[in-house]
Amino acid sequence: MRSDHAHDNARRRRPGFEALEARELLTAHPRAAHFPGGHPSAADVQQFVPVLYPPGTPQPTPAEIQRQSFVLKSLGRYTIGPPRFNTQAITIHGYGKPSTSNVSLKSHFQYILFEPSNPSQPVYGVFNMLAGNTLQSGANIILDVQGPTGTEVNGLPTHLYWAHDISSGVVFTGSGYTLPASNNFPGNYINNQGLPADPPPGSAGGGAPTSINNWNLGYGDITFKYIPDPHPQPGTLGSGKVIVVARGLLNTSAAQNPIDPNYN
């Protein structure tokens, strides 16, 4: 016969419910991001419309602007190294994961920038976002980055501009029918500082008007906020955390989208 003490122990060991700790909401769509079309729009991209669609060219509808909108936000690390050529002052390398983007369920980033030794020359480099989505990975967005000096904080640039590189992969690749204009982008649209051409294409003195309803044209800006380490990483000229925000307009054909749920 079971003792009263054993009966009390069994009663104390009965299953029960425990409260769960609070959790933050997901920062990305729980499935694949629907790109292009249907993804959350990026803020403040209207300023880039006149660059890609100057007066005298076909103008995008509000829905098309939302479809093309692109934003990436991420926290990562950066290191400063010596220049590669005598026209450069320093080399800045950054990387981070995971990133938050409206075109990808998850992503990582890398970038490299070169600060010029002559301040009258532009800062330039390349930014690469490696995307991963449901049923698909390996897609990447390559952004050719450039901009004038003048936004440097502690010698590091904080605000630059980007143009989409058609070497990007999978859904962001350069395939698709291109109407006249892709062959003069970004040359006729963006000057050698990465800023919008003045005058823009289609205007008086800005070159012949042309249709620019083309796949893979893209333009936007990118900001960097650097938080230096108290003690730089050994072997570097400086290191720390970096907060990156890229935004703009990015046009793709939507004809080779392997992450579309209707396709899968």
Contact assessment for residue 147 and residue 160, using Cβ atoms and an 8 Å cutoff: yes
**Residue 243 in this model has a pLDDT that exceeds 60:** yes
Grade residue 177 by pLDDT with cuts at 50, 70 and 90. very low
Residue 258 lies in a domain: no
Does residue 119 fall inside a structural domain? yes
255's tokens: 């004809």
Q: What is the pLDDT of residues 90-106, one digit of tens each?
A: 999 999 977 788 777 77
Instruction: Kindly report, residue by residue over 106-117, the tens digit of the pLDDT.
Output: 778 999 999 999
Domain count, the chain: 1
- Asked if residue 8 is part of any domain, the answer here is no
Q: What is the 3-state secondary structure (H, E, C) of 148-188?
A: CCCCCECCECCEEEEEECCCCEHHHCCCCCCCCCHHHCCCC
- Range of lowest pLDDT (40-44, 85-89, 191-195): 40-44
Taking the C-alpha atoms of residue 36 and residue 260, their distance in angstroms, rounded to an integer, is: 9
Q: Mapping DSSP to helix (H, G, I), strand (E, B) and coil, where does residue 139 land?
A: strand
Q: How confident is the model at residue 151 (pLDDT cuts 50, 70, 90)?
A: very high
Q: Is residue 1 part of a domain?
A: no
Q: Which domain holds residue 183?
A: 34-250
> Which residue type occupies 24?
E
In a domain, 14, yes or no: no
76 confidence band (pLDDT: 50, 70, 90): very high
Question: Does the residue 71 lie in any domain?
Answer: yes
Has residue 217 been placed in a domain?
yes
Q: What is the mean pLDDT of the chain?
A: 78
Residue 263, in any domain of the structure: no
Report pTM: 0.78
pLDDT of residue 252: 75
Q: Among the listed ranges 61-65, 101-105, 134-138, 182-186, which one has the minimum average pLDDT value?
A: 134-138
